[in-house]
Amino acid sequence: MEKTESAIMSETKLPILMTPLPGPRAKAVIARDSQWISPSYTRGYPMVAKSGRGAMVEDLDGNVFLDFAAGIAVVSTGHCHPRVVEAIQKQAAELIHISGTDFYYPNMVEFAERLATVAPGKEPKKVYFGNSGTEAIEAAIKLARYHTRRDKIIAFHGCFHGRTLGALSLTASKAVQRRGFGPMMPGVYHAPYADCYRCPVGLTPHGCAAECLGFIENELLVHLVSPDEVAAIVVEPIQGEGGYVVAPDQFLQRLRELTRNHGMVLVADEVQSGMGRTGRMFAIEFSGVEPDAVAIAKGIASGLPLGVAIARADLMTWPPGAHASTFGGNPVSCAAAVVTLRLIQDSLMANAADVGGHLIAGLRALADKHLLIGDVRGRGLMVGVELVRDRRTKERAGRERDAAVLAAFNRGLLLLGAGVNVIRFSPPLVLTRAQADTAIAVFDEALTEVERAFQ
């Protein structure tokens, strides 16, 4: 019998390990992978997935894992949610593709209308469809340049906006992501991000009112670029790959004021933080800031490829042919996205806030036991744990982080790193408190193992 939504929400299965990891079937796939697949992918541990339900994933050898990665924060409604699967199957039997670039179809319009109504800001919106987060950012870059007739862009240290060339030029998370691909798109400037745990201007969280923005106001816009040349400032309200760093409200509020004063477009990159993950539809809503444009992807269609750039209608005035995508807004992806948005609005956003608060409290309690934990931060089910070798100096514990992720995997918990020394907890939004408690207990054991190994 097909599982109901309530059955998925009440799922309490624990990890089940049937074989040493990786098992024999997994090893065979990994060997073939090394022969045929690009070596550019980053695989931290040998997980070979076969199937998934809710927050659980089974590998080829029958091992069952608790998934706190969610396909990099993508499967927001859980693996194979029955209502999403039903929508995909129904749409695939009717129309798989016809291209919204050249033709019309109803669920593309339906989803655009629904999404525009939940996007931050009261002004009328218009929606552009692509296939991924990096394409959403590319669209935002081009739109800002077209609208303002300016060509400069400001982004932030630690940010990740994608890997296509324009988005990569904004990305400043890890050098390896840019190494060997230069020259980058010209006209991009980077400024310090408001990381209160590692304040770039040496202040404490209590004494800082986003003073790092002074670098833009007093350095960039004075010595390097004139404000009237800057088309846009692109910011993640919560940095993803940069280490799950939560921007203070004042930082985003002052950024909004700065961009408005100089006629710049403020683009919020909500690719990882959007679609209910933080307990609100978009992370920027916590600050009360209304951006001019928003980039969305990842959790928007429960695993199907879809990227969206939403902007004020009076900003999205480019003409036919200025920008388009053959596959963007594919009918099957839109069908999944309509159901995904409804599920998020009906229950999963509230669940993310509730279970996320429970998870954060549990992880912070572990800091009393494990000196490796320097900081626990996040909102909803977007939580980062920063590991350090010394809490006073905040020396980054990168090797220890990698070892902790592997130790958790060997106990049946799927985690991913972020930044140099942060572990991200980004499970499906169907997660229960019981599953959160299981993850905390497994993480506790993993940290104990790592601390003993690195003594």
Give 92-104 pLDDT, tens digit per residue: 999 999 999 999 9
Quick one: DSSP state of residue 2? P
> Is there a contact between 140 and 270 (Cβ–Cβ < 8 Å)?
no
Assign 2 a pLDDT band (cuts: 50, 70, 90). Answer: very low
Q: Other C-beta atoms within 10 Å of 314: how many?
A: 12
Both tokens of 427, joined, read 């499970």
Residue whose C-alpha is closest to residue 198's, from 364, 396, 369, 381: 396
Give 237-283 pLDDT, tens digit per residue: 999 999 999 999 999 999 999 999 999 999 999 999 999 999 999 99
Return d(Cα 167, Cα 253) in angstroms, integer.
24
Amino acid 156: pLDDT: 96
> Is there a contact between 209 and 250 (Cβ–Cβ < 8 Å)?
yes
Residue whose C-alpha is closest to residue 77's, from 275, 321, 295: 275
Compute the radius of gyration of the chain from its Cα atoms: 22
Q: How many CA atoms lie within 13 A of 326 on its CB side?
A: 0
Mean pLDDT (whole number) for 58-75? 97
Both tokens of 209, joined, read 């009112």
Average pLDDT taken over every residue of the chain: 95
pLDDT at 233 over 50: yes
DSSP codes, 180-196: TSPSPPSSEEEE----G
- Which residue type does 386 have? E
Q: Coil, strand or helix: which one is 433?
A: helix
Both tokens of 111, joined, read 């989803």
Q: Which residue has the tokens 């209308």?
A: 113
Q: Name which of 2-6, 248-252, 429-433 the model is least confident about.
A: 2-6
Mean pLDDT (whole number) for 307-330? 96
Domains contained in the chain, CATH given: 5-80+352-453 (3.90.1150.10), 98-329 (3.40.640.10)
- Which residue type does 50 have? K
Type and span of the H or E element at 452: helix 433-453
Give 7-46 pLDDT, tens digit per residue: 555 555 689 999 999 999 999 999 999 999 999 999 999 9
- The number of angstroms, rounded, from the C-alpha of 241 to the middle of its chain's C-alpha atoms is 8
Amino acid 14: pLDDT: 86
Give 324-380 pLDDT, tens digit per residue: 999 999 999 999 999 999 999 999 999 999 999 999 999 999 999 999 999 999 999
Q: Coil, strand or helix: which one is 225?
A: coil
Type and span of the H or E element at 387: strand 382-390
Amino acid 1: pLDDT: 35
The region, left, alpha or beta by phi > 0 then psi within -120 to 50, assigned to residue 419 is: left
Q: What percent of the chain has pLDDT over 90?
A: 91
Q: Name which of 168-172, 210-214, 324-328, 406-410 the model is least confident about.
A: 210-214
Alpha helix (H) residue ranges in 63-173: 70-73, 82-94, 106-118, 133-148, 165-170
Q: Coil, strand or helix: which one is 95?
A: coil
pLDDT at 390 over 60: yes
Distances from the Cα of 148 to the Cα of 120, 143, 228, 358, 380, angstroms: 21, 8, 9, 44, 35
> Is there a contact between 366 and 383 (Cβ–Cβ < 8 Å)?
no
